């Protein structure tokens, strides 16, 4: 049975770090919408060129284009034995489309990483990114350290002042609450406490996935 995992969580929850860590542990691809969008543009696929034209006009990539890009990525051989989705879906419409894509796949396990807003504001206010590749650094990694992906130097984000952070969180909650409601009724949905040490979060994530895989009723690991 393939392990198909969808990770939800607000900015600063550590979702990307945990997704990458889990994917490496299980030997399955971590599929980030940002990564596959950039790849589709770089490789000049038909849908990638459509996306590029949209972005060049300064517009947001539509659901239709994002769904097409995700569909193409999930049809690749390396995703046949499972994957970790990070950053998609972002809306209920995208979630419904993903259900259609998953018709011929094993069930989708959904884990929501929950972190109090005060902690998210603290984390985002001190977050750093790589100057070269733009990757977000794990929470707590100091400015000036080397990026784990490319070796570039980490620098402080310039857009993470408190007002911007609060607005981003407001936008996330407005968009994500319907998405959580969409998934939480399923026996393969779990929520975990993300306001812990990363190793503890990783352990809770593994336990939540194991419970969901066994078909237990919906619940939380706290």
Q: Give the residue numbers marked as catalytic.
A: 15, 90, 127, 157, 168
CA 109, CA 104: separation in Å to the nearest integer? 15
The token pair that represents 157 in the structure block: 């984000």
Beta strands across the sheet bearing 219-221: 30-32, 82-86, 3-8, 108-114, 189-193, 219-221
CA 56, CA 52: separation in Å to the nearest integer? 6
Residue by residue, DSSP assigns 158-185 as: SS--HHHHHHHHHHHHHHHHHHHHHHHT
CA 152, CA 1: separation in Å to the nearest integer? 38
Give every CB contact of residue 188 below 8 A, 6+ residues apart in sequence: 107, 108, 109, 110, 212, 213, 215
Among the listed residues 87, 43, 25, 94, the one whose alpha carbon sits nearest the alpha carbon of residue 65: 94
């Amino acid at each position: 049975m393939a392990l198909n995992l969808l990770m939800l969580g607000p900015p600063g929850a550590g979702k990307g770090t945990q997704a990458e860590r889990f994917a490496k542990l299980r030997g399955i691809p971590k599929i980030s919408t940002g990564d596959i969008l950039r790849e589709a543009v770089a490789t000049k696929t038909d849908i990638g060129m459509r996306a590029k034209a949209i972005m060049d006009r300064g517009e947001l990539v539509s659901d239709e284009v994002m769904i097409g890009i995700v569909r193409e990525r999930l049809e690749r051989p390396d995703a046949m034995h499972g994957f970790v989705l990070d950053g998609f879906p972002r809306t209920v419409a995208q979630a419904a489309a993903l259900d259609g894509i998953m018709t011929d796949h094993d069930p989708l396990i959904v884990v929501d990483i929950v972190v109090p807003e005060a902690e998210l504001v603290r984390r985002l206010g001190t977050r750093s990114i790589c100057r070269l590749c733009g990757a977000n650094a794990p929470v707590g990694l100091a400015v000036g350290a080397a990026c784990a992906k490319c070796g570039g130097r980490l620098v402080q984000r310039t857009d993470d002042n408190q007002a911007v952070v609060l607005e981003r969180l407001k936008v996330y909650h407005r968009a994500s609450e319907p998405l959580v409601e969409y998934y939480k009724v399923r026996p393969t949905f779990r929520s975990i406490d993300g306001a812990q040490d990363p190793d503890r979060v990783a352990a809770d994530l593994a336990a939540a996935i194991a419970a969901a895989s066994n078909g237990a009723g919906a619940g939380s690991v706290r």
